[in-house]
Each structure stands twice: as C-alpha cells, then as structure tokens.
Amino acid sequence: MASTTPLKVSRCTHTHGPTLCFECFRAGMERTRARREAYAQRALPFESPKRVNNPLTAQAVAHRRQMLEYLQKTGSGG
C-alpha cells in the first residue's frame, strides 16, 4: 500500500509548481559540492598522525625569522 504522504520533488520555494528553477538547482549543486569538498578534506595528509616532523633547514629557519622581524616591524605580529 502506498504512503499517503506526497513526495516532495524539490526544495524550490518559488511558485513554479513541481518545476525546479535554476536558482534552486544551483543552490542544490553548491550544497552537493560543499559536502564533497568537506568529505575530501577529512583525510588530508597534513592531518595524518603518521606524519614525520622533519627538522627545518637553516634556510627555512632564516626565512621564518625574517618574516617574524617584518611582522614585528610593521605591527602586524600580534
């Protein structure tokens, strides 16, 4: 026996009847894209507990110090 509850075709709040307008179609596509991106972000390599922390090179340390000095000089460091 079929349910007496009517099926909802879309979330379209405009007065098109059962037709889906482009605005609502695009909003649904954006929600789907955001959901996929969020799912993909959950297992990025930099969040892995197996990541090996390699020590910084002398060049990398010098660069970070230079950037810190710049931020402190411009007043953006804190």
Q: Is residue 37 part of a domain?
A: yes
d(CA 66, CA 37): 35
- Which pLDDT value is given to residue 10? 55
What domain range includes position 43? 19-48
> What is the average pLDDT across 9-24?
70
Global confidence as pTM: 0.36
- Which pLDDT value is given to residue 42? 73
The 10s digit of each residue's pLDDT in 44-73 is 666 555 656 778 899 999 999 999 999 899
Q: Is residue 69 part of a domain?
A: no
Length of the chain: 78
Strands (E) across 1-78 are located at none
- Which pLDDT value is given to residue 1? 46
DSSP string, 18-64: TPPPHHHHHHHHHHHHHHHHHHHHTT-GGG-TT---PPPPHHHHHHH
Domain count along the chain = 1
d(CA 61, CA 69): 12
Q: Is residue 2 part of a domain?
A: no
